């Protein structure tokens, strides 16, 4: 695992689900680089603590799931603040949430 391989995979994911960085002082590339480096640093620390590949994968999956849950909450809050029911329902369908 390298930051570059993570960045590449993230770019592939973002082709379908782009990042919304319009209000930030960094672009998509910088955001990917920052998070890819962070993930690799976490992985390295887990190696240093003696975790094997399966245990590290489980920790990374938990981090990803937590981040996805946080992202869900933030999106729902934003869409509710905008009071745009159609946008909210479209977002829910796009992410296959709620049937």
Enter the pTM of the model.
0.69
pLDDT at 48 over 90: yes
- Domain residue spans in the chain? 1-50, 53-99
CA distance 7 to 10: 5
pLDDT for residue 99: 56
Place of tokens 């049937």: 99
- All residues at 6 or more sequence positions from 31 whose CB lies less than 8 Å from its CB, including other chains: 19, 21, 24
Tens digit of each residue's pLDDT (9 = 90 or more) over 84-96:
677 777 777 877 7
Nearest alpha-carbon partner for 32 in 64, 10, 16: 10
């Amino acid at each position: 695992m390298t930051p570059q391989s993570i960045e590449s995979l993230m770019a592939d994911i973002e082709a379908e689900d782009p990042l919304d960085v319009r209000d930030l002082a960094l672009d998509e590339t910088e955001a990917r680089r920052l998070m890819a480096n962070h993930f690799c640093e976490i992985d390295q620390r887990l190696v240093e603590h003696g975790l094997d590949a399966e245990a590290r994968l489980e920790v990374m999956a938990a981090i990803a799931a937590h981040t996805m849950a946080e992202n869900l909450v933030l999106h729902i809050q934003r869409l509710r603040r905008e009071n745009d029911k159609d946008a909210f329902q479209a977002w829910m369908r796009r992410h296959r949430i709620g049937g």
